[in-house]
Structure 1
């Protein structure tokens, strides 16, 4: 039976104790500095700074604090542009209001984890609601109305039992209402009008909605839904009795103020009709925003110019799919509101492809280009000119997690950093597994495929490309590395497949009907062991009974003395030993031989987040994406390696599964 084991998690509540000295928490300062930059350093944000400052001690527009913690961020109607970066470092923020501005791009995946009120109405947000919304268990009021959100709404409401009011009206949502609507057991006000929903509204029938659709009407809708004989979704007809609701529709744009208007409406309602909404749009919305939904197509000439004709000086490394080069554009290139000056260009050694195989390649590129997560390397574009198959990524600093853990030129990563890195990777995998239908998987998780940027935030790369491996040329050669600067021999693709087990491969690999998301969980468990011990997953230099990290560690995870001895000697006894048992429990479940007993990534994220909060890593000197950054340590991390390069030793030289 396929099921997920559930961790017992405790909702973390930050203790907001007043302090006599109004010095803002450094993590909050960094988050607001970053937000100021993302909002194009708007002049209307008086007192805000790009670096440093004291939002709680000084006067920053829209910022309110309790003690040293930022608790309210209310900056509506300021004509702000730019976009919202990640906000998940604002751990004590309760109220977020950025409504009635001109903020564009996507709603950030990283949202304040303890927020109770969110108002992003009347902006230019596109795409869909991020899956991370489901982690905001304290959320009570949500307003995303009057934006450009589109597509089906995912099942992102499962854990939001605290949610009381929600307005998703005046967007471009399509498809069925999500099943998780039915779990909103405290929802009293819901606004969905002026979208393009189709299908059943049965999930609304048992909600404690006040008048809106009256309960009697909801029962009628349920009855109507059960009587439909076809299996296809039916359009919700405007002829259904919405007379009560029609009188209390969402107000015009001009009436939506900086206050959260949902709470002030006397007769809340649910409207699902598809009436025209252009009159309720800001006049500036008249011209549709030109956001590309497809990856950028490059020419060979463009990439030759940017890589100095794919010169040796621009070579970042060699992987099993082909070489990777650094590409630089003098004036940068703008892509979806982001300006990039450097890219990583991966040249894939493809065999001669059939028409169907070419289509498969394009499907992979199209899917991978849609991935939007702060812990995933962004795929920018591709090139298929002159039978070339090239993939273009954003450029991230040349430091892989493998180098950071196993290269002696670097200082040991602190336990807090390792825990934060693990949490970032887990969030990326949870996004892949949960935000798509059918679920996407990485299928090649390992330390060499994790980049650490300038702030040591983990960035997972090569997402989705593992399925291209069968399309690569049989004559493609992979360089086998024994050290950073020495190459010894070559290995053809067939040989690579024969010895591809580098220690991350799940026992069920290759079996029919294999669930690759569960294989990702196994590989992530191995990665957690690697972070804990600083040992490689397979190491032929060790005694025979210690060569496999999983086999060596499995029987030691639940013995406290052995567990402490497993910790990387470089950080042993630098943190309380009591935190090890919780970490070991997570590892033990991830590396279960039977995939059915491995947890879902969403549960792993919750467990690691709880452990991180208990450890206090979120209160470190500086942090981005949940990871602790130590300035002196950061300066020591300078490398020419990249996640596209094979491992430094021959035993781990193969980049792939």
Structure 2
């Protein structure tokens, strides 16, 4: 007997219908859109923090400080897989600031590249934990290597070259079995190499040059290296035998022994010995031949009291004074040849690069004589010399990139360090002739506050300028890229830098004949030496700047409106630099509120109100400045940044006004103890009202 099913109630039927509809909608949604396009919230949050920590740079298109969807609407440099961020590639964009504190949330990121920017501060303790490739080279990062790297077991490539990292490294490399390339060059690391380096079983490339490492390199003996550079460190002892045969071994500038210091390591050593031996043998054969000839000549001359003057004058060799000297030379050379088996190989390093003729010297001299008002000191360098000194213009030697080219650090075997500017911009017309005109003009500029042109090169399409190297780099870096642990510029040092820069401009405008417009006055072009003296760079390069808006925030209003650049436009830009010295702010800062982004627009209304002026002063000074000096400094700024060019003072007046701030040295002793001391050793000679 079959029992009938009980009838469905209206409630049951409604629920059943709703469930079926919901199920159908859910399945349909999955079929239509199987994967959500929204980026993981943790990734978005981490990128927001990075953007804020980089001062919200305008050059990062698509990025936001809050929210956003980088995997749906592309953000510059971001690559995604599904809803996860997998790559961040932002090299060489001039980014400044720090990397924030939330990188550990980026668990899917495998490629992380912020190289060749202006990042400062310590490397964040937590980096993307599953990264395979990390490149932070060419910044101004400080501190040490974060220990969290010890847990990044998938890491294959780590490049921290060209920063300001320091200290002794911890034993953190034991678990990094997949590491194949490690570059820590051009930093300030010290102490012995960590024992855990010996665990890097897949390491092929290791660059440690230009640090202060000490001790031996024995810990590297069993690694499968084919490229090892430990130059310019304090290493001692022997090069382990297994390292002598690697393809590229470089140990110049260390106390290591037992291997050639050429770029081909052990292989080059054997080749050098063979070459030396061959040369010595050839010399011995020549000497023996000469000895035989001389003995024969001596025996023939014994039978005749006369010398055949004609045959003597036509000899193809210089007669030697005594057969005994030849015999001594043969014995000495033989001993040296035997010693090749046991003595270290001869150092076959090329002589220190020096000037070589690369232009028509007569034509260059004509140029100099035609325009000269003084003696020109610029000398020519060969391209091969400058390539060698800059490591073929490698990124590890890059000091900065400007409007018309890049600047590199050049290091020579004798310890000399220079700066090389590689110009990428083109000159109108006959480029080589115009370049020589520029060299001739710059060579006549001699002032203690102008970067001295030492030499130049014009070969194979290259235009290179060689300058003295300034240890403390630029004013821009001191004001805007220093970390919290750096000692800030004191007030009297800032005033002195302004005065020295003003004197350099006065020289260009009113001493040079004809007057020379600089056209690119900015804090990045004011270099500071070891005693923080100012040296104005890029003088005489106006021809390269034609038609360019060079630096946001520095250009005078008449230039941006009509492109009519005059001496008074330089004075406006100098006023902006003075504002940087006063406030510690950048000329243009998009991270500020709209009303404060332009430094000049924000500052001008406050320069004549003492209360507002004190609020504007760089907080890094902690209130340590003389009020009267501050007021006078602000008055000079106000005159320099006037909108009408004809109302701005000449540089002679600016120098005079700034010099009035300097008190006689005797009065300095009466100054209150609350005043800060300068970083210069001789600042007792300077004082300010």
* TM-score, scaled to structure 1: 0.43
Higher helix residue share = 2
TM-score by length of 2: 0.41
Q: Which has the larger radius of gyration?
A: 2
